[in-house]
Structure 1
Amino acid sequence: MASHAAYSRPRLLFSAFSSTTPRAQVPKSAPEPAPTPAPGQNAADGEADAKPHAGRNRRMRIGKILRMISEERHPDKLVSQFITASTASPRFRDNRRVYEVAVSRLASYGRRDAVAALLDSQKPFIEASRSGFAARLVRLYGRASMPSHAAATFLDLPPKHKSVTAFNALLAAYIDSGDFDKLVAAFPEPGLSAALDVIPLMEKCGLTPDEISFNSLLNGFYNNGRFNDAEKVWQMMKERNVEPNTNSYNAKLRGLVAEGRIEDAVAVIEMMQKDGPKPDSVSYNELIRGYCKEGRLDEAKKVYDDLVKNVCAPNKGTFETLVPCFVEAGELDLALSCCHEIFSRKCRVKCSLLQGVVTALVAASRIEEATRIVKLGWKSNYPPRGLKMPALTEKNQDVEAETDCDDSTPYEEGSKEEKQSDNSPVRFSWQILNARLWKILKSGVSWNQESKIH
């Protein structure tokens, strides 16, 4: 017969969700006062903005509204603009990205009161929205490390929106925040182990756990090195006839690589190739990351070849793992080859990654190849201030490349920045070279043709 504890643990978890009162996480300081209206603006203007076909919103395209909110840095103004736009436009509410950006920014400011104000303003739209909208609000509370608010939101959802998707969002909120205190207050050893009782809790609530539910648990356990608990999740999946998918195995690969168990990770990939589900780009990226951590670049390159051979497109994660390792090891031919793959596949990587290759090529006196990378980078809309030929010291040593730069202003010959820079002959020659490259890029003539002109 099952012990009393076996029944009490799910019951305790169920009671943890029975209170709709979130934990107080609002900062002690009072919220900043709302910004005063701009000259000529009155309360009526604000009311007009809240209507779909009145005021500024009628004249402003949705793209401009999204951009304006994404660029706003004042927390209270951000909340005000967000509420106005979301009230006026269903299309705005369909944009998942703008919600993530706004909540992430407010959370980075430590303004959980503002996060609560923003997300609470969206709750009136839940009833008429699809279930994904409700799950999004629950998930966003987790992104802001406010899991008790997520739980309260889930409990208040209309019955038709209390879906497995919404519960998975709640589970992810606790996994992301790492805050299981409320769930496990009655347990002698609080921690992730209590998360195993979430599956019986879901079943008690009449919800059927799916692969997303189990994958959330697997990610939480593997990210924290809890392999024994992760194995229990695999067993629970088997008992409930839930087939693990590629994401399930990717969670395991991530955990194995983090522990330095690269050979075990290789065995997982081989098993996936043989029996399925087939590995994807993320699977191979984890294996590449493991080999690079151990300095085994030949094996990493072989995995990259296998990735392409198995019709998995290399992505940003692939190149941002491989290229720095190749540069550090002096394998410039391989790094250069990856750069050309990046451009041909139109894969957007960090500007500093390309700059690192350019700097290394110049240090190795491979000027023409470095110039080619810079030119291709500019054609691919990488900013000239972030990707350029490096200045050289008297000892022919490169200076540290700039990190990612959002400034897309071309580096023109005779610019203010050029005039204020060091006027030493060597540095000035590289400035002219960068300006000349940009001139060539704009005019469309070849390097040789431009040289003949000069």
Structure 2
Amino acid sequence: MSSSLYRRLHGLFLKPKTTVSSKPTTISAKPTTSTTVSNPKTPESTTATTTTSSKEKRLKLLVKKFKKASNSPSFRLRISQYETTVQRLAKAKQFSLISDILEHQKQYSDITDERFIVRLISLYGKSGMFDQAQNLFDEMPQLKCDRTVMSFNALLAACVNSKKFDKISEFFRELPEKLSFEPDRVSYNTVIKAFCEMGSLDSAVVVIDEMEKNGIEPNFISFNTLIDAFYKSNQISDAEKMWEKMEQKNVVPNVRCYNPKLRWLVGDNRILEAVELIEEMEKKGVKPDIFSFKALIKGFCDDGNMEEAKKWYGKIVENDCVPDRVTFMTLIPFVCNKGDYQFGLELCKEALNRRCLVDTTIMQRMVDELVKESMVEEAKELVELGKSNRFFHYNLKFPKDE
């Protein structure tokens, strides 16, 4: 890495921290003559405690089953299973259970495969457990696994995911020389992402130049990360410069490069220009994805245009895309407001079929509106579908008095 980039990393990632006095703070308490008696548990607090305990038991059982399943070599190849389980534990803030699962993996021969360790480092990073990610990286020689730029990149990504930006400068300065490898395109793209996350977009642009000086050509990921950040920061002229630079470098943009511009156009109430951009994408052979369509659907819903919102929902299926939770959460309340209850019912059924967890309040509103419109059988059908759904149980209530 060139000295100019290191100076920029050093200056931005290692900003001086505010000095906090080490002098202990004395907190005075007013004397009291009364004796404090702890309140007995209320029924509500008892219920909450029972629910928490029950949840913890389920998660511990999940970990037990996961560890047992890990004995199978074929199970250890299921990356999505690892990610789903760790994500669930992280959401519940059960970090000790995450360590339990991932530390358990060290007993298997896979641990000598750098790709397997990279997966574990990444899982720690995505859970915000940076210290564990770094410890595993440091431990690799004892686990008889060589460290290359692959595991280095996983460690950098863990820095970004855990918001430990100050560590990136240190790793870039020390590890490549120590371990005898050169940072690659993924390394630089991770630094670009770090700068963007910090809001230091000018520094992120400098990384593009540094890549080229070191013989590494930026790719669409390099540019897309910057384009997305510029549009989110409403720095439109800088985003357009990135588009121009992509063309100069003959980097072909993909749908992920276009989507930030689509979202910005919609957010700026330029929905017709967003439609034109979709048409431009298609002419250039870039197929819109679910995020492209979601942007347009939101724009037309915000604009109150029912016909266009339904039209672009239809294009999701036409383009072999799958509507997601956000799609239904946007459309169902909108069609309720517009009074198209038949279409709303179809959307609710589709959400249930596709295992999309839509808020119960939205589903319940649809039931209520159907009853008000004398669509009683349809309302009953939705209530039953909600209760019988094997993935998300909806406790929908049928208003019998209507």
Q: TM-score under structure 2 normalisation?
A: 0.71
Amino acid in structure 2 at the alignment position of 1:422: P
What does residue 99 of structure 2 align with?
116
Q: Give 1:344 deviation, angstroms.
A: 2.2
User: Do 1:215 and 1:247's aligned partners in 2 also have CA atoms closer than 8 Å?
Assistant: yes
Amino acid in structure 1 at the alignment position of 2:255: S
- Cα distance in structure 2, aligned partners of 1:170 and 1:245: 21
Q: Give 1:79 deviation, angstroms.
A: 2.1
Pick closer, same or farther for the CA change 1:422–1:371 going to 2, 3 Å.
closer
Q: Give 1:381 deviation, angstroms.
A: 7.3
Q: Give 1:341 deviation, angstroms.
A: 0.8
- Cα distance in structure 2, aligned partners of 1:308 and 1:352: 24
- Cα distance in structure 2, aligned partners of 1:361 and 1:268: 38
Are 2:188 and 1:203 aligned?
A: no
Are 2:149 and 1:164 aligned?
A: yes
Pick closer, same or farther for the CA change 1:179–1:334 going to 2, 3 Å.
same
- Greater share of helix: 2
Q: 2:399 aligns with which of 422, 440, 443?
A: 422
User: Do 2:156 and 2:187's aligned partners in 1 also have CA atoms closer than 8 Å?
Assistant: yes
Q: 1:173 aligns with which of 158, 178, 181?
A: 158
Q: What do the CA deviations read for 1:13-63 (whole angstroms, capped 9, x no partner)?
A: 9xxxxxxxxxxxxxxxxxxxxxxxxxxxxxxxxxxxxxxxxxxxxxxxxxx
User: Do 1:339 and 1:373's aligned partners in 2 also have CA atoms closer than 8 Å?
Assistant: no
* Structure 1 range deviating more: 111-120 or 352-361: 352-361
Are 2:130 and 1:147 aligned?
A: yes
Q: Give 1:130 deviation, angstroms.
A: 3.4
- Cα distance in structure 2, aligned partners of 1:95 and 1:137: 13
Matches within 5 A, 1:185-224: 195-205=168-178, 206-224=180-198
Pick closer, same or farther for the CA change 1:395–1:85 going to 2, 3 Å.
closer
- Cα distance in structure 1, aligned partners of 2:352 and 2:70: 37
Q: Give 1:112 deviation, angstroms.
A: 2.1
Matches within 5 A, 1:65-76: 74-76=58-60
Q: Give 1:382 deviation, angstroms.
A: 6.7
What does residue 246 of structure 1 align with?
220
Q: What do the CA deviations read for 1:245-298 (whole angstroms, capped 9, x no partner)?
A: 111011101110121112432343354356431111111111111112222212
- Cα distance in structure 2, aligned partners of 1:340 and 1:222: 35
Q: Give 1:362 deviation, angstroms.
A: 5.3
Structure 2: 5+ residue runs without aligned partners? 15-54, 374-382
Q: Give 1:100 deviation, angstroms.
A: 1.3
2:70 is paired with a residue whose SS is helix
- Cα distance in structure 2, aligned partners of 1:73 and 1:349: 34
How many percent identity over aligned positions? 24
- Cα distance in structure 2, aligned partners of 1:257 and 1:227: 11
Are 2:319 and 1:345 aligned?
A: yes
- Cα distance in structure 2, aligned partners of 1:118 and 1:378: 32
Structure 1: 5+ residue runs without aligned partners? 14-70, 184-194, 397-404, 426-454
User: Do 1:292 and 1:321's aligned partners in 2 also have CA atoms closer than 8 Å?
Assistant: yes
Q: What do the CA deviations read for 1:318-340 (whole angstroms, capped 9, x no partner)?
A: 22222122101112222111110
Q: What do the CA deviations read for 1:135-157 (whole angstroms, capped 9, x no partner)?
A: 11111111222212211111221
User: Do 2:301 and 2:334's aligned partners in 1 also have CA atoms closer than 8 Å?
Assistant: yes
Q: TM-score under structure 1 normalisation?
A: 0.64
- Cα distance in structure 1, aligned partners of 2:351 and 2:88: 30
What does residue 369 of structure 2 align with?
392
Amino acid in structure 1 at the alignment position of 2:398: S
Q: 2:252 aligns with which of 252, 268, 278?
A: 278
- Cα distance in structure 1, aligned partners of 2:346 and 2:93: 44
User: Do 1:292 and 1:300's aligned partners in 2 also have CA atoms closer than 8 Å?
Assistant: yes
Q: CA RMSD in A?
A: 3.7
Q: Give 1:232 deviation, angstroms.
A: 3.2
What does residue 292 of structure 1 align with?
266
What does residue 21 of structure 1 align with?
none
Amino acid in structure 1 at the alignment position of 2:163: G
What does residue 257 of structure 1 align with?
231
What does residue 60 of structure 1 align with?
none
